[in-house]
Structure 1
Amino acid sequence: MATALKIVVERHSDGYVAYPLGLARGVVVGQGDTYEEALTDVRSAIAFHIETFGFAALEGAEDDPILEAFVAETAIPAGAP
């Protein structure tokens, strides 16, 4: 059975950045000039991450899946540490 991961894709002025939510271990990031390139790159990075750390890097993703992801915004006061 496949493990489903939610992927966040951010658009920046110089391209796209993509990363999965809910990994049990480590951080994985992909990038590209287009949305599709960033998704392809992050999928490749996830595959490499699993080759390196094993499926233990995904433990918990199936047991406690992310049902929804939200983007929130907050203001940080000037001079805050």
Structure 2
Amino acid sequence: MKALKIIVEKHPEGYVAYPLGLKSIVVGEGDTYEEALENVKSAIKFHIETFGNEVLDIEEVVETFIAEVVI
């Protein structure tokens, strides 16, 4: 087992969740925070079953920062 940090974003139409520290992109979504989190956990499990444990072979994400820039 490996702990992953999950980002959950709230949008007007629902929630989107995605993990940090995983090779490739995996996304879950739902009408609630809990639903999005469960969907992304399921998607991560499927991703590992499909591509193998090597998708987890990256450096651990120690901290996550959110920054805002004006462009």
Taking structure 1 as the reference length, the TM-score comes to: 0.84
Aligned position for 1:45: 43
Provide the C-alpha distance between the structure 1 equivalents of 2:24 and 2:51, rounded to a whole number of angstroms.
9
Aligned position for 1:68: 63
Q: Which amino acid aligns with 1:69?
A: T
Aligned position for 1:16: 15
Q: Deviations over 1:14-68 (max 9, x none)?
A: 0000000011x210000000000000000000000001100001102xxx31111
Q: For structure 1, which runs of at least 5 residues remain unmatched after alignment?
A: 77-81
Provide the C-alpha distance between the structure 2 equivalents of 1:56 and 1:65, rounded to a whole number of angstroms.
14
Aligned position for 1:79: none
Q: How far off is 1:72 after superposition?
A: 0.4
Runs ≥4 residues deviating over 6 A? none
State the structure with more CA Rg. 1
Provide the C-alpha distance between the structure 1 equivalents of 2:38 and 2:19, rounded to a whole number of angstroms.
12
Taking structure 2 as the reference length, the TM-score comes to: 0.95
Please give the root-mean-square deviation of Cα atoms over the aligned residues, in Å: 0.7
